[in-house]
Amino acid sequence: MERSAAERSRAATSRDATEIVLEGRFGPADRMRYVLVPFQVPAGVRQLEVRYSYSDRVDSDPRMVDGNTLDIGLFDPRGTGPGSAGFRGWSGSHKDEFVVGEDWATPPYSAGPMPAGTWNVLLGPYKVGPRGCEYRVEIRLDPDRSPEPRDIVRTGPPIRPRLPPARSGWLRGDLHCHTRYSDGDSWPAEMLHAAAEAGLDFLGVTDHNNVGHQADYGPGGGAFPIVVPGVEITTYAGHWNAWGSDRWWEFREPTATAVEEAIRAAVDAGATVSINHPKPFGPAWEYETVGPTHAVEVWNGPWGGLNVASLAFWDERLRAGARLTAVGGSDTHVLRGSDPDPRHAPTPGHPTTWVDAGPRPDVPAILRAIRAGRTFVSASPSGPQLYLDRTAGGLSVEAIDAAGCALMVIGPAGTVAAASVDSDAWGAEVPLPTDGTYVRGQLVAANGEVRALSSAIPLGGSAAG
């Protein structure tokens, strides 16, 4: 990160009684390099309003090119370093203006003390088009803005659907969604309501580069899914989720070293971590390393959205000896009307991640199951369900609500066994290869689409999974 943003971007600062203006330009060489642009806040200020604009704007969707996408965030004088308490929030390119004050802040920014001194606007030129990116940030001191009332459209007790029962101890959930605390269109209460009405038992809440949504969600439970607190660390060369973590993790340096360091720090702090949507337009995972991650989001949004590439990414690492759990995420962003972005599922639970949480379902049990690889992923909350268990003679497979699918058991050298599933309560014993190190299962429909896939079960040594 550059401290001397003023020089690089020719930032010009002017100030009248209430307004600070920061202007500058990014060239193509500045692409994907965050800069800090400092400004001074005098003592006694209780609220800031930040607005920004820039030339040749295009959407952040990685398929859009030939224009500019400029991300923004804010740090107060308590610091700008990794994990610093000075971090007041990051809104990518999805908010043109926001308020940060003592009493309230525009989500995802945090309200709180307004220390005098050097604050920094964080600017991230994610895309810079051929004509460069001219930007202008306007900051008003004490504009006396009031919070906008919330328009919550999903209220009341959720109506849970009737779903096929899961095996004892297994829970169904979704591990990836977005609200107004990043680029989603709904409030956490609404996302939780939608997840309850999808029939889910847990919901991983993963707004981009923020944790402000977690307090808004609360713990869930009762008629609602258990909330698994999380964050989607969104870098310019790949996204990763950290669950069971209530702080932000470094996202500004898109290098393999920096991302590996950040993943390691999160894992060391007890977070459960996955590499997200490693497939074209995911956006993809462009790092060689996956660090000490626990899981891969093998299935993100609709299966047809290039999840074959994520599956290949995961398979390649399994073959290389990595122990990585398979998880899924709907990446739901839009609950009001239809999402024009085909990468995202329209409702939570598509796909659904099933975890063997055992007799006491809570957040630690869910995260333990993910770390231990006791999961499978299915197309929807109604299944199909796919359970693999080691037995003395080999592998026992149970497939529920999968009539018409093919079961494939796959090891490092390829398909170990295949069978057609001819009933909705189907089971088989599969003899295991003597030379493989793991097997995994998947249920595939006649049109070739994967309907469910399990985590890998290690072979050799003691039975696991």
Residues contributing to the site for Zn ion (CB under 5 A): 239, 276
Residue closer to Zn ion, measured from CB, 170 or 240: 240
Q: How near is the Cβ of 309 to Zn ion at its closest, in Å?
A: 15
Residue closer to Zn ion, measured from CB, 239 or 451: 239
Q: How near is the Cβ of 172 to Zn ion at its closest, in Å?
A: 22
Q: How near is the Cβ of 241 to Zn ion at its closest, in Å?
A: 8
Residue pair 206/191 in contact by the 8 Å Cβ criterion: no
How many C-alpha atoms does 94 have within 13 Å on its Cβ side? Answer: 22
Q: What is the bridge-based pairing of β-strands 69-75 and 87-90? A: antiparallel
Place of tokens 């499978």: 376
Residue closer to Zn ion, measured from CB, 300 or 442: 300
Measured distance CA(370)–CA(272) in Å, rounded: 8
Measured distance CA(48)–CA(66) in Å, rounded: 33
Q: How near is the Cβ of 209 to Zn ion at its closest, in Å?
A: 11
Element (H, E) at 26: strand 19-26
Tokens of 347: 């409702």
Residue pair 23/52 in contact by the 8 Å Cβ criterion: no
Residue pair 229/246 in contact by the 8 Å Cβ criterion: yes
Q: How near is the Cβ of 233 to Zn ion at its closest, in Å?
A: 9
**Residue type for 46, please?**
R
Q: How near is the Cβ of 208 to Zn ion at its closest, in Å?
A: 7
Measured distance CA(465)–CA(456) in Å, rounded: 8
Residue pair 78/86 in contact by the 8 Å Cβ criterion: yes
Residue pair 225/195 in contact by the 8 Å Cβ criterion: yes
Q: How near is the Cβ of 176 to Zn ion at its closest, in Å?
A: 7
Closest CA to 37 of 20, 49, 17: 20
Closest CA to 364 of 251, 247, 270, 250: 270
Residue closer to Zn ion, measured from CB, 277 or 374: 277
Q: How near is the Cβ of 277 to Zn ion at its closest, in Å?
A: 6
Residue closer to Zn ion, measured from CB, 30 or 339: 339
Four-residue CA torsion sign, 150, 156, 162, 165: positive
Residue whose CB is nearest to Zn ion in the complex, by number: 239
Residue closer to Zn ion, measured from CB, 122 or 233: 233
